[in-house]
Amino acid sequence: MLRALRSEVEPAIEETLADLGFPTDDLGIERPPADVDAVLATSVAYRLAGEAGAPPSAVAADIADTLGEHDLTYVGSVEAEGAYVNILPGERYYADTLAAAQEEGYGRLPDRGTDLVLEHTSANPTGPVHVGRARNPIIGDALRRLLDFAGYDVETHYYVNDAGRQIAVFTWAYETFEEDALPEPERDSPEYEMVRYYRKGNEYLEEADPEAVEAAEAEVQAILQGLEAGDEGTYERVGGVVDTVLGGMQDTLDRLPAPFDEFVRETRFMRDSSTDDVVARLKDTDYAVKEEGAWQLAFEDIEKNLVFLRGDGTSLYTTRDLAHHEWKLDTFDEAVTVLGEDHKLQARQLEATLDLLGHDTDRLRTVHYSWVTLPDGGMSTREGTGIDLDDLLDEAVDRARAEVERRVGDRVRNDQLTEADIERIARQVGVGAVRYDIVAKQPTKGITFEWERALDFEAQSAPYIQYVHARACGILAEAGEAGAGADPDRLVEPTERALLETIARLPTVVEESAAALEPHAVATYTRDLAEAFNAFYRECPVLDADPERRAARLALVRAARTATANALFVLGVEAPTSM
RNA sequence: GGGCACGUAGCUCAGUCCGGACCAGAGCGUCGGACUUCUAAUCCGACGGUCGAGGGUUCAAAUCCCUCCGUGCCCGCCA
């Protein structure tokens, strides 16, 4: 409802400023601090004071007077406070918020008619998903939900690296080494079984005697050449390894969950000759140079050249990625990619090159995140260092289960949790806590992984928000979900008003977070919402209130439940009906 | 060496893009308090900060600009 209020207030302020003879290029609209009763404000008077030749407070008073004469649906009053003009909501604002938020899809924005492709994770299919990479699917999946909620038609892609040297090494190793020479797999799952060959192969290439390494390298090269030449047999050999590992990785990602609409293979752009096509066009550009036999682009404002064709005439990962992105831009209206911070330079070069090829690169946006590291260093699939995402999720669920069981004994609420309930809650809380911990932070900040911190179930974590949802569900279950015909005018307590005002912000939060590609802002919002609900919960009994109030408060609880559920949905955190 | 990020209470963070009610907010931890009352995974209170340092712009700077310091990432005819 804040969106509706804002969209009627903005033109009114603009008109007001014009009437008073002021410029209207900056309306100075902002959200007032918590201790101010307004839901919207403008500080424009500061900037106009000089022009008006009057103190800011006098200008603010003028603006408030003129603005107050407008007939605005959702505005109760306009008040000048110092240099600020504060917009206070009217009864209609609360009433419409209460009604809107009880609808199932509250917070969802209208369809924009924009096809957007979201690429995330895209980890090389070499082994188990580890925590160092886990930020990618968690941020990625939150973006999928957020953009979908904000009205985009989102298609999610995992770009599969099935053409690189690592995969060639993997295929060679898988075909070369016997299983009995390998350690026991850490888990009974394909990617854990397969990664042993990958590690063994890399170890061999580093430690075997030079002649043996040379022979092995020749086999690896043969695989790479086979792919480049479009040899079907080679595709099949490599594809078998890739599919097996990817299948296992997908099972892990499903636990988050992080679903994909399509797994786009890199070899696709070699086979359909679009990579050759890109190369041909790049050679024709003014920035193309041939140095030491290799074709490259020499950018004006990027230090490093981009090699797009090797001296031996074969393409590089980057070249194929260019073909990949041309396809994205041809097929979709917008493209968003979630990448690690190590890809920043490449992302810049990619964009510059696409720009060079005549594409509108404003349609392409990238979200970069910093690594999750261990206290004593990074994580690596090849070296087998790091925490597997499966282990983290298992541990999280185990700890959550222990917590649920500990609470069953001194449970105040008179309900019976079955074994299935306990398992459900443990999974929702455990996985939710991991997701929330990661999605609530700005992606650009580095995270050092520590078990205790990642699995803290106290306030400012997923369970804190989930608990609010469970409480709301509990009240509604007790009340039998009745309460139609609620009179919003009965909601006059400060905590009731504050809760409604917070609920009213959800669509704005969705809109702004989606525009900025910042799901963490939704997480910040969920905390405000949970705090507002808890304050209301403390001050306002629902079930024992007199009939009129009870009906109104039940409606408010229902609205809060929907807002909480939907905000959690956007984050990809499940909303338990009981805890 | 160059480029790009990040630096806010003891710890983990929000606020920084778009300067304004910020003499800066949470949570954890510490200390104290609230379950015969709709779920105490909750709530209330106390303690805790020269917003990395310095300079500049501005009526106004955590927020913009510059310099420096610290940390991370990148600088391959790898992916």
Each residue's pLDDT tens digit, A207-261? 899 999 999 999 999 999 999 888 999 999 999 999 999 999 999 999 999 999 9
Tokens of A239: 């594809």
pLDDT score at A48:
92
Q: Rounded mean pLDDT of chain A? A: 93
Contact status, residue A227 vs residue A147, Cβ threshold 8 Å: no
Bridge partners, A149 (sequence order): none
CA distance linking residue A14 with residue A6, whole number of Å: 12
DSSP state of A42: E
- Could you give the 3-state DSSP secondary structure of residue A91? helix
Nucleotide nearest to A466 (CA to C1'): B41
Instruction: Give the tens place of pLDDT for each residue, A126-139.
Output: 999 998 888 999 99
Residue closest to sugar C1' of B5 by CA:
A444
CA distance linking residue A529 with residue A556, whole number of Å: 13
CA atoms within 13 A on the CB side of A501: 27
Q: Are strands A288-291 and A40-42 parallel, antiparallel or unpaired?
A: unpaired
CA(A82)–C1'(B23) in Å?
A: 18
* Chain B nucleotides covered by protein, CB below 7 Å: 2-7, 11-15, 17-18, 20-22, 26-29, 35, 37-44, 59-60, 71-79
Nucleotide nearest to A460 (CA to C1'): B27
Compare A437 and A448 and report the one with higher pLDDT. Answer: A437
CA(A319)–C1'(B51) in Å?
A: 44
pLDDT score at A539:
93
Task: Tell me what percent of chain A is helix, strand and coil, each rounded to the nearest 5.
Answer: 55, 10, 30
Going by C-alpha positions, the residue among A337, A158, A377 that lies closest to residue A259 is: A158
pLDDT score at A416:
76
Instruction: Give the tens place of pLDDT for each residue, A513-531.
Output: 999 999 999 999 999 999 9
User: What is the band of A42 on the pLDDT scale with cuts at 50, 70, 90?
Assistant: very high
User: What is the band of A357 on the pLDDT scale with cuts at 50, 70, 90?
Assistant: very high
CA(A379)–C1'(B12) in Å?
A: 21
pLDDT score at A578:
92
CA distance linking residue A541 with residue A543, whole number of Å: 6
Tokens of A571: 């984050």
pLDDT over threshold 60, residue A483: no
pLDDT score at A571:
98
pLDDT score at A505:
97
CA distance linking residue A23 with residue A332, whole number of Å: 39
CA(A443)–C1'(B71) in Å?
A: 16
pLDDT score at A6:
95
Average pLDDT estimate for A55-66: 94
DSSP string of A204-265, one letter each residue: HHHHS-HHHHHHHHHHHHHHHHHHHTT-HHHHHHHHHHHHHHHHHHHHHHHTTT---SEEEE
CA(A458)–C1'(B51) in Å?
A: 26
Contact status, residue A437 vs residue A458, Cβ threshold 8 Å: no
pLDDT score at A412:
64
CA distance linking residue A65 with residue A73, whole number of Å: 17
pLDDT score at A565:
98
Contacts of A257 (CB under 8 A, 6+ apart): A141, A572
CA(A441)–C1'(B52) in Å?
A: 21
pLDDT over threshold 90, residue A542: yes
pLDDT over threshold 60, residue A444: yes
User: Residue A96 is which amino acid?
Assistant: D
Q: Among A101-105, A405-409, A470-474, which is the least confidently predicted range?
A: A405-409
pLDDT over threshold 90, residue A76: yes
Bridge partners, A337 (sequence order): A119, A366
ipTM (interface predicted TM): 0.95
Going by C-alpha positions, the residue among A83, A20, A29 that lies closest to residue A56 is: A83
Nucleotide nearest to A49 (CA to C1'): B59
Nucleotide nearest to A464 (CA to C1'): B41
User: What is the band of A442 on the pLDDT scale with cuts at 50, 70, 90?
Assistant: very high
pLDDT over threshold 90, residue A385: no
Other CB atoms within a 10 A radius of the CB of residue A129 amount to: 26
Q: Where are any strands of DSSP class E within A304-389?
A: 306-309, 334-340, 364-369, 372-373
Range from A313-327, A394-408, A444-458 that averages highest in pLDDT: A313-327
Nucleotide nearest to A536 (CA to C1'): B43
Average pLDDT estimate for A286-290: 93
Going by C-alpha positions, the residue among A291, A341, A420 that lies closest to residue A139 is: A341
Contact status, residue A102 vs residue A555, Cβ threshold 8 Å: yes
CA distances from A263 to A119, A230, A246 (A): 10, 20, 10
Residue closest to sugar C1' of B77 by CA:
A310
CA distance linking residue A331 with residue A240, whole number of Å: 28
Average pLDDT estimate for A271-297: 94
CA(A448)–C1'(B11) in Å?
A: 12
User: What is the band of A35 on the pLDDT scale with cuts at 50, 70, 90?
Assistant: confident
DSSP string of A436-479, one letter each residue: HHHHTS-TTS-EE--HHHHT--SSSSHHHHHHHHHHHHHHHHHT
CA atoms within 13 A on the CB side of A270: 22
pLDDT score at A153:
98
Alpha-carbon Rg for chain A in angstroms? 29
pLDDT over threshold 90, residue A570: yes
pLDDT score at A285:
93
Average pLDDT estimate for A322-344: 96
pLDDT over threshold 80, residue A9: yes
Other CB atoms within a 10 A radius of the CB of residue A382 amount to: 16
CA distance linking residue A383 with residue A313, whole number of Å: 32
Between vectors from CA A395 to CA A391 and to CA A398, what angle results, nearest 5°? Answer: 140
For chain A, what percent of residues have pLDDT higher than 70? 98
pLDDT over threshold 90, residue A375: no
Place of tokens 């040379």: A214
Nucleotide nearest to A539 (CA to C1'): B43
φ, ψ of residue A368 in degrees (nearest 5): -105, 140
CA(A347)–C1'(B61) in Å?
A: 32
CA distance linking residue A497 with residue A184, whole number of Å: 60
CA(A226)–C1'(B78) in Å?
A: 18
Nucleotide nearest to A321 (CA to C1'): B79
Compare A416 and A334 and report the one with higher pLDDT. Answer: A334
Other CB atoms within a 10 A radius of the CB of residue A484 amount to: 9
Other CB atoms within a 10 A radius of the CB of residue A344 amount to: 12
pLDDT score at A228:
86
User: What is the band of A493 on the pLDDT scale with cuts at 50, 70, 90?
Assistant: very high
Q: How far, rounded to the nearest angstrom, does the alpha carbon of residue A25 sit from its chain's CA centroid?
A: 33
